[in-house]
Amino acid sequence: MNLKQTLIRLLAWGLAALAAAVPAAAADKAGLTFRLETTAGGAGVETRDTSRIYWFDGRWKEEAETAAVIIDLRNDQLVLMDREGKTWCGGPVDAMLAEMEREITRLAERVRDTYGPRPEPPGIAAPAPTARLEEVGRERVGGRPARHFKLWLGDSLEGEYWLDEAIRPGDYFPAERLRQVVARFHAVTAIFEQELRSAARNAREQAIQEALGTLFLRGLELQSVDYSAGRTVGGKKVSDVSEWAGEAAAFQVPADYRRISYREFLDASLPSGKEVLENSR
């Protein structure tokens, strides 16, 4: 899995500019850390990735083997790190997202002009069915209590989700602010694929993401399963959930990392156009 794919997956939890002042979590509130395992399948090949997530005092970090993302709502910073090349880019959240949108659009248009957009199916594309969440009941996942939800798009089951409502993002940072930033980040990083997918596919993806946004603040997602045409195509599973003493230094860029522009960062990490075309089916 290349760096850009890792970074997009890191923010798949699904970033609205932030206000100048962001309230902090309670001073005596411990942080939280947990392990996230993500699986995805495409063209008969399954990929598996693991990362470690940290929540503490208005800050959010996800760290994988090759990449890391930091959303610091206390200091209004969004940072992307390449842990292999020891480079990073970042800045104020709204400015960083605007730069990302410009650069991803630039490259998406270049790939589209080279390979062509995904052809639309014959006839006028019908609007995407309405997405709805069905609450199934309470279960236990990994020894923790969880509330089970199913996500439907029309009559098609798109996903299942198990949330631990005893662990709420709002206990660790301004959760509504984070939800907005995550939603905007997802929209920006999806531009590349959107340029090559059909309008019908994009409408379905947008409906799904909007429905999932309502679950974001309800609790920690312990497990999920993604479906396509009745087949399992991926999912997430959380384990090793524990309190963490927390320290601001954990959300800072290492001193030996070199700062680069987002254009340099993106040019070095984007998948090829053929890879995107294959994944956009």
192-208 pLDDT, tens digit per residue, is 777 667 677 777 787 88
Phi, psi of 74 (to 5 degrees): -70, -35
* Entry pTM: 0.80
Predicted confidence band of residue 270 (pLDDT cuts 50, 70, 90):
low
Per-residue model confidence (pLDDT) at position 202: 75
Predicted confidence band of residue 16 (pLDDT cuts 50, 70, 90):
very low
Task: Round to whole Å and give the CA distance between 217 and 117.
Answer: 36
What is the DSSP-derived secondary structure letter of residue 83? Answer: T
53's enclosing H/E stretch is strand 45-56
One-letter identity of residue 174: P
CB 237 within 8 A of CB 226: no
Burial state string for 163-185 with b = 16 or more CB within 10 A and e = fewer than 16: bbeebebeebbbbebbbbbbbbb
Please name which of 134, 143, 190, 188 lies closest in space to residue 164, comparing C-alpha atoms: 143
Predicted confidence band of residue 87 (pLDDT cuts 50, 70, 90):
very high
100's enclosing H/E stretch is helix 93-115
Please name which of 81, 69, 77 lies closest in space to residue 94, comparing C-alpha atoms: 77
Higher pLDDT, 208 or 131: 131
